[in-house]
Amino acid sequence: MNQRRVVITGMGGICALGSNSGAIWDGMKEGRDGCRPIEIEARDLKVNVGCGIIGYPEEDGVDKRQSVTMSGIGRISVIAARQAMQQAGLEPGGFNPTRSGAVVGVGIFGTDAVDQAYVDIFVEKKKRPHIFTVPRVMPSGPSAHVSIAMGLQGPVFGVTSACSSGNHAFISAVDQIRLGRADVMLAGGAELALVYGPLKAWEAMRVLARSVCRPFSADRDGLVLGDGAAIAVLESYEHARARGANILAEIIGVGMSGDASDIVNPTVEGPAAAIRNCLADAGISADQVDYINAHGTATQANDQTETRVIRDVFGSAADKVAVSSTKSMHGHCLGASSAIELIACVNAVREGVIPPTINYTTPDPLCDLDITPNVARERKVDIAISNAFAFGGTNAVIAVKKV
């Protein structure tokens, strides 16, 4: 049986580089650094930089009654979803709601709602937190709110796999379309990492950068956390063609794997298997890939391991493929990272531009790939892949192609 083709017809986003997918892509091409000082009331934070959202709309269009039940990740998910629907040209009544669904990945949960509940109980000594704390906190909240706001009555659920959550959401949505359960799926990721509780937890791991994010550079000293969301409209090729949609790109392959090794230390074998599974699903060879959007967190272990992974899978082709980490610009948005990074992959194949890895100063002999240092580069890109490797050894890779 032939598999249903899955295409992307709309994208939306909001993060440190801008308040829509177009602005985010422009920021990537310009090599704009979204890292800036953060302001949080708690004074005992050692980290003082992050990639906070810019350009948040004064009127975000979220229903006031619905907004009372939302955490911040639900709100930014709806903002990104509405943008994606508009770009896709999908309006209420213009599609079958029972054949349309939503999958949104989050790395943690509604962190702002949890923090506020703790303040209410332990600081302000209230008898109870906000009445809607539970729905605000639940990891499936963003997908539910996208469903409610957009009227999607098909498959609706959340996924969570740490920093691979966005790609796992895309893969889950692809599966729903391939299996014939849906014709349209909104998928992506959302995260608010610049919240006191999560920041203290990340501080304890001692993996946060002191100033800026420097993936693959020898002087890298850790990741920079960021807030953001990105949502894409995925459709079956037949559905998109039938309604005359403008197709941005096609998802030609997906791959997943588990390290089954260590909760925080990555392996080479697990991520390599995910990439190989993706290439096999797409029916392509490694030397057909023109661009890799690397996981590229700017920790010592991740960047060296990912370099070994790419060399293991690509062999001699590893010296020819363009690589970059856009986390150097928008930060590590955890569950939203790979969703934001799909914006880079889709536009790379559409425009023939490789976004750079900024803040690169010193070559690392253990990261000897063409990582597109500091300045974007024009190059013909027919196929791009997006890597997402997470704590727990949960790996997810997606391949997109120009249509």
Residues 236 and 273 in one domain: no
90 residue type, one letter: L
Number of domains in the chain: 2
| Helix (H) and strand (E) counts in the chain | 13, 14
- Is 137 within a domain? yes
- Say if residue 131 is in the same domain as residue 197: yes
Domain final residue pick, 242, 277, 306: 242
Between CA 367 and CA 362 the distance in angstroms is 11
The mean per-residue pLDDT over the stretch 141-159 comes to 98
User: 208 in a domain, yes or no?
Assistant: yes
Q: Write down which residue in 210, 242, 274 finishes a domain.
A: 242
Residue 224 within a domain: yes
CATH code of residue 169: 3.40.47.10
Q: Give the predicted TM-score (pTM) of the model.
A: 0.97
What pLDDT, on the 0 to 100 scale, is given for residue 158?
A: 98
Chain-centre distance for alpha carbon 23: 16
Same domain, yes or no: 305 and 195? no
Tens-digit pLDDT profile for residues 353-401 = 999 999 999 999 999 999 999 999 999 999 999 999 999 999 999 999 9
277 and 198, same structural domain? no
155 within some domain: yes
Q: Chain-wide mean pLDDT for the chain?
A: 96
In terms of domains, do 200 and 286 share one?
A: no
Q: Is residue 140 domain-resident?
A: yes
pLDDT score for 368: 98
157/280 same-domain check: no
Q: How confident is the model at residue 63 (pLDDT cuts 50, 70, 90)?
A: confident
Catalytic annotation, pick one of 239, 278, 332, 345? 332
- Indicate whether 217 and 296 sit together in one domain: no
Which of 145, 168, 295, 330 is catalytic? The answer is: 295
Residue 248, domain member (yes or no): no
What pLDDT shows up at residue 356? Answer: 98
Banded model confidence at residue 39, pLDDT cuts 50, 70, 90: confident
Give the list of residues 6+ apart from residue 268 with CB closer than 8 angstroms, or none.
Answer: 305, 308, 309, 312
What's the confidence (pLDDT) of residue 386?
A: 98
CA–CA gap between residue 369 and residue 364 (Å, rounded): 10
Residue 61 has pLDDT above 90, yes or no: no
* 40 and 127 part of one domain: yes
Give CA separation, 321 vs 2, 30, 140, 359, in Å.
Answer: 30, 21, 37, 21
What's the pLDDT at 41?
74
The per-residue pLDDT for 171 is 98
Same domain, residue pair 106 and 195: yes
Residue 60 has pLDDT above 90, yes or no: no
Domain residues for the domain of 279 are 253-401
pLDDT in tens, 248-301: 999 999 999 999 999 999 999 999 999 999 999 999 999 999 999 999 999 999
CB 89 within 8 A of CB 246: yes
Largest CA distance in the chain: 64
Query: Dihedral of the CA atoms 174, 180, 183, 186 (nearest 10)?
Result: -30
Span 88-114, average pLDDT? 95
3-state helix, strand, coil in the chain (%, to 5): 35, 20, 40
Judgement on whether residues 137 and 259 belong to the same structural domain of the protein: no
Quick check: 42 pLDDT over 80? no
At residue 43, does pLDDT exceed 80?
no
145 is catalytic: no
**Which of these three, 242, 273, 302, is where a domain ends?**
242
Has residue 247 been placed in a domain? no
Q: 15, 163, 278, 367: which is the annotated catalytic residue?
A: 163
- Same domain, residue pair 185 and 86: yes
The reply to whether 56 and 165 lie within a common domain is yes
Q: Is residue 81 part of a domain?
A: yes
State pLDDT tens for residues 310-356.
Answer: 999 999 999 999 999 999 999 999 999 999 999 999 999 999 999 99
